[in-house]
Amino acid sequence: MTANSLISLAADLNSGRIRVVDLTQTLAPEFPQIVLPPEFGQCWPFRIEEISRYDERGSAWYWNNFSCGEHTGTHFDAPVHWVSGRELPNNSTDTLPVEHLVGAACVIDCSAEARADPDFLLTAEHVRRWEALHGRIAPRSWVLMRTDWSKRTDPVAYQNFDDTGQHTPGPATDAVRFLIEERDVVGFGSEAIGTDAGQGYHLKPPYPCHYYMHGAGRYGLQCLTNLDLLPPTGAVIFCAPLKIKNGSGSPIRALALVPA
């Protein structure tokens, strides 16, 4: 039965009955990285240096060295990323259970709200309203917050800073706790630069999505794109981080399987 369903999956992929959607932003030097106050340590942006390009440095081959942080571009947050998850077992990119990295996705469309208010917070009440339309979120699902924020291709608009900091949408504290404690989700994904809202530092606790998700051994995905191509339910996502020893996260190639 299991073997048959995999064979039929392959057939559906070949025939186009199941499409693969790329949820990943291109890793490029101009893509912005998370900004911390300048006295803190900083995440590296993506950088790339040519090793050779069919030239005197290597006549028949083209290749590059690249550098970036664990949290550069479309990336995965492991529980060890946050202080609340530091003591958990199997909390880093090399030890976490790989079965968590493939799973069903519930996509909550907040694009209208985020368009109206860059500081929009997704509350537990919003999630319940979504469930009333699309059904109860199944245990071990990924919950993805669609905001169409990824359509802000200008880095300035994407980062959206003013002199009080960043203004990007994210989840409210009660939604995070609801998703973990009452729905047992495996992780939360966002289109903005972090899983928490730009003003998440001022919530209780600061950065509630990082605090509670990682404290409960759950994961985060950020800088996702193309969430508007996913159905509210019925998609399966793949979001494996690189197997970095004691890694707190990693850039990923996030993919989704969706019915055509």
Partner 1 sequence: MIPPLLRPRRKNPILRTRLPLLPPWARSRAALGLTAAAAIGRFELQVCAACGSVQYPPREACQRCLSGSLRWREQPGLGELISTTTVHHSHDLFFRERVPWQLGMILLDAGPTVVAHLHGGCAPPPSRVRVGARLDKSGQGVLLAFPIDEVPNMADDRQLREMTCDPKFRKVLVTDGKTAVGQAVVRSIIAAGADLVWVGYAEPWKKLPGLAALEALPQTALLPLDLTDSRSVKQIAAEIGGRVDILINTAEVHRAHGIASRSGVEVARAEMDVNYFGLLRLAQEFGPAMRARGADGPSNATAWVNLLSIYALSNYPPHGTFSASKAAALSLSQCLRAEMRPGGVRVINVFPGPIDDEWNQLLPPPKLSPEALAKAVVKALQDGVEDVYPGDVAQEWLARWEESPKTLEREVSI
Q: How far is the CB of 172 from partner 1 (least distance, A)?
A: 25
List the one residue out of 200, 244, 254, 253 whose CA is nearest residue 91: 244
Helix (H, G, I), strand (E, B) or coil at 101: helix
Using the contact rule CB under 8 A, the part of the chain among 34-42, 79-87, 202-210, 215-223 near partner 1 is 34-42
Helix (H, G, I), strand (E, B) or coil at 48: strand
- Examine the residue annotation and report whether 126 is marked as an active-site residue of this protein: no
Rounded to whole angstroms, the Cα distance separating 253 from 260 reads: 21
| Chain residues 6-25 in contact with partner 1, contact rule CB under 8 A | none
Rounded to whole angstroms, the Cα distance separating 20 from 1 reads: 23
| Chain residues 96-135 in contact with partner 1, contact rule CB under 8 A | none
Q: Which member of 81, 126, 210, 214 is catalytic?
A: 81
Interaction between residue 48 and partner 1 (CB under 8 A): yes
Q: Please report, as a single letter, which amino acid is at residue 95.
A: T
Residue 200 contacts residue 166 (beta carbons within 8 Å):
no
Tokens of 127: 């999630």
Interaction between residue 244 and partner 1 (CB under 8 A): no
Give the position of tokens 């979504």: 130
Using the contact rule CB under 8 A, the part of the chain among 55-63, 151-159, 216-224, 248-256 near partner 1 is 151-159
Give the position of tokens 């040519």: 50
Count of residues that interact with partner 1, criterion CB under 8 A: 20
Q: How far is the CB of 214 from partner 1 (least distance, A)?
A: 22
Using the contact rule CB under 8 A, the part of the chain among 33-41, 98-106, 114-122, 237-245 near partner 1 is 33-41
| The binder of partner 1 chosen from 4, 30, 133, 245 (CB under 8 A) | 30
Interaction between residue 41 and partner 1 (CB under 8 A): yes
CA 5 vs CA 1, 2, 48, 100: distances in Å: 6, 5, 41, 19
Q: How far is the CB of 102 from partner 1 (least distance, A)?
A: 34
| The binder of partner 1 chosen from 89, 163, 245, 260 (CB under 8 A) | 163
What are the helix (H) ranges across 20-151? 111-116, 124-134
Residue with smaller CB distance to partner 1, 99 or 163? 163
Using the contact rule CB under 8 A, the part of the chain among 161-169, 175-183, 230-238, 241-249 near partner 1 is 161-169
> Could you tell me the end-to-end alpha-carbon distance of the chain, in angstroms, rounded to an integer?
23
Tokens of 55: 């030239």
**What is the set of active-site residues?**
81
| Footprint on this chain of partner 1 (rule: CB under 8 A) | 29-30, 32, 35, 39, 41-42, 45, 47-50, 155-156, 158-163
